[in-house]
Amino acid sequence: MPARGGGALGKGLLGIYLTALVLLPIAALLTKASSGGTSAFWREITSPEALAAIKLTLAASAIVVVLNAIFGTIIAWVLVRDEFPGKRIVNSLIDLPFALPTIVAGLVLLSLYGKGSPVGINVAFTRAAVGLALLFVTLPFVVRSVQPVLLELDQSMEEAAASLGARPATVLRRIVLPSLVPAIVSGVALSFARALGEFGSLVLITGNLPFKTEVGSVYIFGQIQNDSLPTAAAVSVALLFVALVVLGLLSFISQRQSRHVL
Amino acid sequence: MAIEVRNVDKRFGDFVALDDVTMTVGDGALTALLGPSGSGKSTLLRIIAGLETPDSGQVVIGGEDVTSSAARTRGVGFVFQHYAPFKHMSVHDNVAFGLSVRKRPKDEIAERVKELLGLVRLDGLAERYPSQLSGGQLQRMALARALAVQPQVLLLDEPFGALDAQVRAELREWLRRLHEEIHVTTVFVTHDQEEAMEVAEQIVVMNKGRIEQAGSPRHLYESPTNEFVMSFIGPVNRIGDAFLRPHDIQILPESDGTGTEALIERVVHLGFEVRVELKLHDGRDVWAQVTREEARQLELTEGQILSVRLPAPRVFSS
């Protein structure tokens, strides 16, 4: 049957595509990282500077995704449920961080919130700058995953809860938020993955000070510049591993929550 | 609790949903709001529930003016057209919702939920989720959820609209019996006149945002005050400005000179009822409703010419 033939062709294409673009590069990375043996690998990722960079990356990403979960949901809510002049323009602004080359984003942030800031805020070369840049580039993820779900959400559920005596805050907590959790979680997962690997927007505004503002990706870049590829690969693998664990965990949470909803 | 709606107006933009609507529903009555789509019946129901605010006018429930009260304080149970199940909660938690927001003790909630699930014949399904229930079961769960908080008034929006014919008939009968058991003032919206006549004690007929007529099913059928009610409730033949009921057209066994001559164009057997499509001698088309037995005795066949007696037609001044 044609449908079945198409299916097999599709699966084949998917396999080749994924192998060429994802699996082979990761395999090469793993080979490079393990070229010096396990103890060398361990030494590379536990060197004080590498460890500081990894910790900063994880902590900053964690804080950023929590803020994204909160503000992204609020922004999505306002964009879906409220009417105000210029709503369409605001809506398209949300995607701007996607469209802007991240190095340009970094430059813009530096001139706005750096030395001689026109708004009087100077966070250049501080950890706050790491958070700021990451917030900027990950803004769209939660907004864009929550928005369609909120649009589809059956408002009569909220009306039913209200007519059963629930206050607006209770309706939000017990009816709306549980329905949004899978979407929020998937937005968080995307934000987190993006934050772990973010480079362009950080490299200018953070100043890349070791032990202070140097994140994983910038550390890796530095190691490549210094020709220590195994170190770069080892730290990459460590970040990759964390990303895999976190994404797995988030997808588990999301599935648990959406089990009865879909 | 009695419900009074006084001079309620509601517009959505340019569309007039309700135009000076006044109606009364007696304490403990079972009332249908009947009308075609866009007649304002659902809007009226939502205004009674507090889910919509009238532009002007008053809503009084049990003698208390609730026009400006929030839905959650009105003591109204509302069953939505598509049931609005809380999809992320089990059947038990759905039904328990109203009680749990009222912070009732756990064992009281458990007991009440069990009792209600028994009442709506969903015992044993408490741990299921809405996605695992059929339409009829969801409908009954929604009803149990609304009844859990012992509402003063029960409102149902097109309660049987989304169900297939057989489940529909069963639920109608069951709603009627339930109402006899618990006697809560009940108003339901429907566009199906048969459903309204079968279930309700009182019918309020709506059209274009206004109430055309209210009364018992029999009263509306026998004494419609206008064209709309006449043609919306029960089958009707229209001849110019005059209306007559198909079952009032009498087919005479033999031409005795008193009747009107007519040609049988078609005989449709619908079980007990037989629909006879006639062309009168002056060219007008009407149809008559006779029983299977009458059709057999009169030996009605297509192409036959016979004589019929027409009742005095009703004419409404518009």
Bridge-based pairing of strands B237-239 and B202-207 is unpaired
| Cβ contacts of A255 on chain B, cutoff 8 Å | none
CA A81 and chain centroid, separation:
25
Instruction: Report the gap between the CA of B188 and the closest CA in chain A (Å).
Output: 16
| Cross-chain Cβ contact A154/B82 below 8 Å | yes
Both B163 and B266 in one domain: the answer is: no
The distance in angstroms from the start CA to the end CA of chain A is 30
CATH number at residue B266: 2.40.50.100
* Alpha carbons A115 and A209: distance in angstroms, whole number: 16
- As given in the structure block, the two tokens for residue B233 are 């409730």
Question: Is residue B80 less than 8 Å (CB to CB) from chain A?
Answer: yes
Interchain CB contact of A154 with B (< 8 Å): yes
Of A157, A165, A170, the CB nearest to B86: A157
- Span B174-201, pLDDT tens digits: 888 888 888 899 999 999 998 999 999 9
**Same domain? A15 vs A106:** no
The ipTM, to two decimals, is 0.85
Condensed to tens digits (0 to 9), the pLDDT of residues B264-299 reads 999 999 888 999 999 988 888 889 999 998 888 888
User: How does residue A13 score in pLDDT terms, banded at 50, 70 and 90?
Assistant: very high
Based on the domain organization, do A175 and A212 belong to the same domain? Answer: yes
Any CB–CB contact under 8 A between B127 and chain A?
A: no
Q: Look at residues A65, A45, A66, A67 and name the one whose alpha carbon lies nearest to residue A55.
A: A45
The domain that contains A219 carries what CATH number?
1.10.3720.10
| Angle CA B214–B75–B212, to nearest 5 | 15
Per-residue pLDDT averaged across A134-163, rounded?
A: 95
Inter-helix orientation angle A155-163/B135-147, to 10°: 30
Task: Name the residue of chain A whose CA is nearest to B101's CA.
Answer: A166
Q: Is residue A28 domain-shared with residue A93, that is, in the same domain? A: no
Same domain? A8 vs A81: no
Count of domains observed in chain A? 2
Q: Which residues of B213-227 are buried (b: 16+ CB within 10 A; e: fewer)?
A: bbbebeebbeebeeb
**DSSP class of residue B16?**
E
Q: Which of A159, A170, A261 sits opposite B87 (nearest CB)?
A: A261
**A209 shares its domain with A252:** yes
Q: Which domain holds residue A147?
A: 38-258
The residue-averaged pLDDT of A97-125 equals 89
Q: How many domains does chain B have?
A: 2
- The residue among B2, B29, B35 whose CA lies nearest residue B176 is B29
Same domain, B54 and B179: yes
Shortest CA distance to A154 belongs to which of B154, B195, B142? B142
Burial of residue A68, with CB atoms counted within 10 A of its CB: 0-12 exposed, 13-18 middle, 19 or more buried:
buried
What is the average pLDDT score of chain B?
91
Closest Cβ–Cβ partner in A160, A175, A262 for B78: A160
Q: Which residue of chain A comes nearest to B86, CA vs CA? A: A157
Closest listed residue to residue A49, CA positions, set A244, A231, A196, A227? A231
B85 touches chain A (CB under 8 A): yes
**Cβ contact (<8 Å) for B80 and A161?**
no
* Domain identity same for A57 and A184: yes
Q: Check whether residue A52 and residue A180 sit in a common domain.
A: yes
Q: Is residue B314 part of a domain?
A: no
Partners of B129 on chain A (C-beta within 8 Å) are 260
B126 found inside a domain = yes
Say whether pLDDT at B117 is over 80.
Answer: yes
- What pairs with residue B273 in β-bridges? B270, B291
Q: With contacts defined as CB-CB under 8 Å, which chain B residues touch A175?
A: 86
Query: Phi and psi dihedrals of B63, rounded to 5?
Result: 85, -5
Task: Choose the mutation target among B47, B52, B72, B99 for the interface with A, i.e. most A CBs under 10 Å.
Answer: B72
Instruction: State the average pLDDT for chain A.
Output: 91
Same domain, B127 and B31: yes
Does any domain span residue B317? no
Q: Within an 8 Å CB–CB cutoff, is residue B162 touching chain A?
A: no
Q: Hey, what's the torsion of the CAs at A23, A25, A31, A33, to 10 degrees?
A: -120
- Same-domain check for residues A162 and A186: yes
> Domain range for residue B270?
240-309
Instruction: Give per-residue pLDDT as tens, A243-261.
Output: 999 999 999 988 887 777 6
Q: Cα separation of B49 and B82, whole Å?
A: 17
For residue B8, is pLDDT > 90?
A: yes
| Lowest-pLDDT range of A89-103, B11-25, B130-144, B158-172 | B158-172
A1 confidence band (pLDDT: 50, 70, 90): very low
Q: Are residues A14 and A85 in the same domain?
A: no
| Same domain assignment for residues A54 and A136 | yes
Residues in chain B: 318
